[in-house]
Amino acid sequence: MLRYFTTGESHGEALVAVLSGLPAGLKINQSDLDRDLWRRQQGYGRGGRMKIERDSAHILSGVRHGITIGSPISILIENRDWKNWQESLPVAEGDPEKHKRVNSPRPGHADLAGVLKYNFAEARYVLERASARESTARVAIGGLAKAFLRELRIEVLSHVIAVGATRLPEGDVAWEHILALAHRNEVLLNCADPELEQRMKEEVDKALRTGDSVGGVFEVVAHGVPPGLGTYAQWDERLDGLLAQAVMSLQAVKAVEIGVGVSAAASPGSAVHDEIAYKASTGFSGFIRARNHAGGIEGGISNGEDIRIRGYLKPISTLRRPLQSVDFATREPVKAAYERSDVCVVPAAGVAAEGMVGLTLARCALEKFGGDSMGETLRNYQGYCQQIHNY
Ligand SMILES: Cc1cc2nc3c(=O)[nH]c(=O)nc-3n(C[C@H](O)[C@H](O)[C@H](O)COP(=O)(O)O)c2cc1C
């Protein structure tokens, strides 16, 4: 069973992630993991923090001579910013004069609910763990899951559908375009339409000018997924439900859509459901569709089309023109505490969601095909592919 945990504070020494359950014999390329970490740091509208960090996955265990050995894998990602925080956020008690307190809760953050829940006098510890810096650790182990899926010829990538009110028209962006975006060495807003991307940039510029922030929509596409991952047999084994939780668990994601889920609710069935045809030797089984409104999942099972899942991000909560709040100590009205912040993170959130989708699909694939070594897993996978090919 594939299981994982992350640990670490936003301004602590490092983030650590542990992934257990990958088969032995999977080749791991450090550069692929670091490339995803770099992609997560990109995008127009990021704050000063991303200029400080140079994220790199330092593998501590579970990989030897470039391959997984079946043991739990732990990865450490150093926080370069730590050198600026050693006195204000030490592990030991340190000098309370030097601690950086967050004296008023910031609307849209976990601050207020967190202090009430954990009984803290101020919100520093809440912020440190609720921060999306944590998603860096998920990208690192998500990279391991993506390496595993690549052996099954499954690729997981993302692109941006909307920033603020600027949005791509309905219709699937072709896989080739999404692939080309992932190879770019300069990332603006990771949108496949360059003209629209410029208009998205203008949305971010406006937010920067006015001390405001923007949200948007990303889409993760999993290409090459065979029919048969997940099942309708039990509610908590449905692939749509598992993916929805994985993507929704990312900071600032407030809605998840699979395929054309949102517009489908207002459309007649004839305009929504994807008709089925047959063409021998095409795809996994010869059964094909002219379109993919279902986003690759029907009845909680992958159906052999690309899986398309969208995450809707609220605008970033921290505003340079802070919203109204209350001082924890005096209970007097004050402007919310301000801490250096991103203004737009839609492309970065897409990369983090790739990791989460990768981990979820890898878990489902391992549940279906099993195997303690890659040889065993691939043998099982190929046997299944042969079975559906011959169906
Ligand atoms: C990649 C990424 C980076 C983020 N950076 C910031 C940031 O710099 N400032 C901020 O206020 N929120 C940022 N957020 C969102 C907050 O972490 C999130 O809104 C907050 O923790 C409250 O959680 P919730 O929105 O899930 O309820 C970021 C989110 C993501 C996915």
Q: HEC states along the chain?
A: CCEEEEECCCCCCEEEEEEECCCECCECCHHHHHHHHHHHHCCCCCCCHHHHCCCCCEEEECEECCEECCCCEEEEEECHHHHHCCCCCCCCCCCHHHCCCCCCCCCCCCHHHHHHHHCCCCCHHHHHHHCHHHHHHHHHHHHHHHHHHHHCCCEEEEEEEEECCEECCCCCCCHHHHHHHHCCCCCCCCCCCHHHHHHHHHHHHHHHHHCCCCCEEEEEEEECCCCCCCCCCCHHHCHHHHHHHHHHCCCCEEEEEECCHHHHCCCCHHHHCCCEEECCCCCCCCEEECCCCCCCEECCEECCCCEEEEEEECCCCCCCCCCEEECCCCCCEEECCCCCCCCCCHHHHHHHHHHHHHHHHHHHHHHHHCCCEHHHHHHHHHHHHHHHHCC
Pocket test for ligand 1, best of 111, 345, 346, 356 (most atoms within 8 A of CB): 345
What distance in Å separates the CA atoms of residue 391 and residue 373, rounded to the nearest whole number? 27
Alpha carbon of 225 to ligand 1 centroid (Å): 30
**Cβ of residue 214 lying under 6 Å from some atom of ligand 1:** no
**Residue 164 Ramachandran class (φ > 0 left, ψ -120 to 50 alpha, else beta):** left
What is the structure's pLDDT at 338? 86
Identify the residue whose C-alpha is closest to ligand 1 atom 4: 132
Q: Whose CA is nearest to atom 20 of ligand 1?
A: 109
Average pLDDT, the chain: 97
Helix axes 346-369, 135-151, angle to 10 degrees: 50
Smallest CA separation from ligand 1 atom 13, residue: 316
pLDDT on residue 47? 86
Query: Does the beta carbon of 50 lie inside 6 Å of ligand 1?
Result: no
The CA 132 to ligand 1 mean position distance, Å, reads 5
Q: Which residue has the tokens 């810096």?
A: 133
> pTM here?
0.98
Ligand 1 and 103: CB distance under 6 A: no
pLDDT, position 337: 86
Task: Provide the CB-side half-sphere exposure for 236 (13 A, CA).
Answer: 0
- Asked if residue 318 has its Cβ within 6 Å of ligand 1, the reply is yes
The tokens describing 304, both together, are: 């052999």
pLDDT at position 52: 84
pLDDT under 50: residue ranges of the chain:
none
Query: What does the block give as tokens for 194?
Result: 């360059």
Q: Which atom of ligand 1 is nearest to the CA of 109?
A: 22
CA–CA separation, 195 and 249 (whole Å)? 31
Q: Is the CB of 258 under 6 A from ligand 1?
A: no
What pLDDT shows up at residue 50? 76
Q: Is 132 in the pocket of ligand 1 (CB under 6 A)?
A: yes
CA 257 – ligand 1 centroid, Å: 20
Q: What is the pLDDT of residue 179?
A: 97
Which ligand 1 atom is at minimum distance from the Cα of 40?
1
Measured in Å, residue 252 CA sits from the centre of ligand 1 at: 5
